[in-house]
Structure 1
Amino acid sequence: MRTVLVTGPGGAGRTTVAAATALAAARDGARTLLISADPIPGFPDATAPTPVTAGLRSVRIDSAAHFRDELLSLQEQLSSVLELLGGNPLDGEELTELPGSGELALLHALRRAARGDWSAEAYDLLVVDLPPLRDALRLLALPEQLRRYLRRLLPQERQAARALRPMLAQLAGVPMPAQWLYEAAARHDAELAQVQALIEDRSTTLRLVAEPGPAADEALRTARTGLALHGLRAEAPVANRLLPGHSPDPFFAALAAQQEKSLGHWADEGAAPVRVAHLGRDPQGPDDLLALAGADGDGNALAVSGIGEAGGRAPDPWWTEEAGGPEGDGILVWCLRLPGAVKKDLQLVRRGGELLLTVGPFHRIVPLEPALRRCTVSGAALTDGVLRVRFTPDPALWPRTG
Structure 2
Amino acid sequence: MSAEDQSAPHEPSTESVVVYDRGAAIEQSDAFENPGLPPHRPRQTDLHPHKERRAERQVVGWFLVSMIGSVLAIVAYIALPITPGDMASVRMNNLFLGLAIALALLSIGIGGMHWARQLMSGHEVVEERHHTRGSVASRERSVEIFRLGDEESGFSRRTLIRNTLIGAVALVPLPAIVLFRDLAPAEDAVEAIAHTMWEPGMRLALDPSGTPIKATDVTIGSAFHVIPEDLKGIGHNEGYLDQKALAAVLLVRVPTDRLKEAPGREGWSYDGIVAYSKICTHVGCPVALYEQQTHHLLCPCHQSTFDVTEHAKVVFGPAKRPLPQLPITVDSEGYLVAQRDFTEPIGASFFERLHHVDPEHVQVSAPEMETRA
Q: Normalized against structure 1, the TM-score is what?
A: 0.22
Name the structure, 1 or 2, with higher relative contact order (CA <8 Å, separation 6+): 1
Q: Normalized against structure 2, the TM-score is what?
A: 0.24
Larger radius of gyration: 2
User: Which structure shows the bigger proportion of residues in strand conformation?
Assistant: 1
